[in-house]
Amino acid sequence: MLMSQILMSIDRGTMYIQLTNVLAQIGITYFLCYLIMQFRFRWQAVIAVLLLAGHWVLYVAFPGTDGPFLSKTTNIGAVIDAFIFGHSNPGYWTTINFITSTVTTLFGVWTGQLLQSERTHREKMQVMAISATVCLGLGLIIHPWNPIIKRICTTSFTFYSTGWILLMLLAFYWLIEVKGYRKWTLPLVVVGANSIFIYSADSVLRGWLDRAVGAFTLHFTWLGDFAPVAQSCTVLLTMWYLCYWLYQRKIIFKL
């Protein structure tokens, strides 16, 4: 959480206190998941359901001017942030996203436990496939009453995003662990080894890197509408190379 405040303050050039940044949310959800994991699995599941239901009820009980979920600045999350921090957050992210994000993190913990278990590849893939289908289905079913909105991390978004993540993980697991295709994963491994570094670099240095790279690429203006895409990809490649330089020297930043 401290790292989150430092990065946001550097980016803005002034002290900026918030709890909506990804690192801040992770700091909260990891701590809560640690506490939840002290219970038996069935109670972990009960707590997860209560958190998702509680978040939903909270928004419905205190709707904003345009309804519980569609009010950008008057939903209960924005109101709480305005009361605590004196302002709404840019992008309409809310601090109480940690309620449902804790469940997302908990899903990740359960998945990690599944992958580390003694079950066969087939059994693990079956569990992931069924879980993905259930999550996607639940997200779509409750969508009419609880819209899929990332910015306020609604209950439907929690299910829906988890479903897609599980499907992607299932595909990677099949390719890498079952089929043994590992050589192509180096670009992903390089970033994964220093995910904190590249996230921090993007938060603080992206603007500077864009200008620095742009001095040589001329921001790809000759590509017309595709110029921003080419420029963003070049900046991303630059940040990847920084991670690769660290990876070669086995320098890994961890929190």
- The one-character DSSP state at 64 is B
Cβ–Cβ under 8 Å, residues 103 and 32: no
Q: If DSSP codes are grouped into helix, strand and coil, which group holds residue 83?
A: helix
pLDDT given at position 58 = 97
pLDDT in tens, 77-116: 999 999 988 877 878 999 999 999 999 999 999 999 999 9
Averaged pLDDT score across all residues of the chain: 93
pLDDT at 224 over 90: yes
pLDDT at 1 over 70: no
Cβ–Cβ under 8 Å, residues 73 and 92: yes
Please give the Cα distance from 202 to 187 (Å, whole number).
17
Q: How far is CA 154 from CA 31, 93, 103, 121, 240, in A?
A: 21, 11, 11, 32, 32
pLDDT given at position 11 = 64
Question: Hey, what long-range contacts does 105-114 have (CB within 8 A, 24 or more apart)?
Answer: 105/26, 105/29, 105/30, 105/32, 105/33, 106/33, 106/36, 106/44, 106/48, 107/162, 109/33, 109/37, 110/44, 111/166, 111/169
pLDDT in tens, 169-219: 999 999 999 999 999 999 999 999 999 899 888 888 889 999 999 999 999
Q: What is the mean pLDDT of residues 148-165?
A: 97
pLDDT given at position 2 = 67
Write the single-letter amino acid at 32.
L
pLDDT at 16 over 90: no
Cβ–Cβ under 8 Å, residues 247 and 188: no
pLDDT at 4 over 70: no
pLDDT at 22 over 90: no
pLDDT at 52 over 70: yes
CA–chain centroid gap for 204, Å, is 18
Please give the Cα distance from 29 to 85 (Å, whole number).
20
pLDDT in tens, 118-129: 999 999 999 999
